[in-house]
A = this chain, B = another copy of it.
């Protein structure tokens, strides 16, 4: 009973996600859905990446949280348009659903935007099940979370097109092996591109940005 209800909710979401995808494509916007556990460093990472994308790529961000506008405030310093969603009004939803993204996107002037990044709610489980109309999905894992997380939360790593292993600057102080973390990611998703970064020390960012730009170029090429 519970499972069939969940299935229904997911089916509705899939339909709306597909509508979003067509809409964003018509507008010439590439959409990237970024997910992770709480505290993996998504917002710091995005802030640094957004600064490097300018002025070549015109980006915007939709950021989801259960509560607070902290992340939007932090992202706003980059000068890119930011829309904050707080799901507390929707019963504290643990993921961003396609209908929520559609509503949020209405607050952006998409004709001026090449890249829309969605910073999803901190949760390594539920957001993996909800497509939002994105062109690609990425997951950030902080090396402080331990190497085994890809094996314990495989769906997230399986649905993502790219992974970022963040907080690499802390490796010397941890009993954690980044190569094993990457190996575990590739066990659940062979050949997925993985980038090792430190958002605070700004290492590895350009390699990821190059990957993202290549995806955007591919989509633009296909649209011609």
Q: How far is the CB of A71 from chain B (nearest CB, A)?
A: 8
Instruction: Give the CA-CA distance A170 to B9 in the complex, in Å.
Output: 41
Q: Is the CB of B39 within 8 A of A145?
A: yes
Q: Is the CB of B155 within 8 A of A70?
A: no
**Contact indicator per residue, chain A 161-195, by CB within 8 Å of chain B (1) or not (0):** 00000010110011100000000000000000000
Q: Is the CB of A94 within 8 A of B152?
A: no
Instruction: Give the CA-CA distance A72 to B175 in the complex, in Å.
Output: 20
- Copy number of this protein in the oligomer? 2
Tell yes or no: A79 within 8 A of B by CB: no
| Of B5, B68, B92, B123, the contact of A148 (CB 8 Å cutoff) | B68
Instruction: Give the CA-CA distance A67 to B153 in the complex, in Å.
Output: 6
Contacts of A144 in B (CB 8 A): 39, 142, 144, 167, 170
Tell yes or no: A125 within 8 A of B by CB: yes
Tell yes or no: A2 within 8 A of B by CB: yes
Q: How far is the CB of A116 from chain B (nearest CB, A)?
A: 22
Tell yes or no: A151 within 8 A of B by CB: yes
Contacts of A133 in B (CB 8 A): none
User: Can you name 6 A-B residue pairings with CB atoms under 8 Å?
Assistant: A5-B5, A92-B155, A94-B126, A122-B125, A122-B149, A170-B173
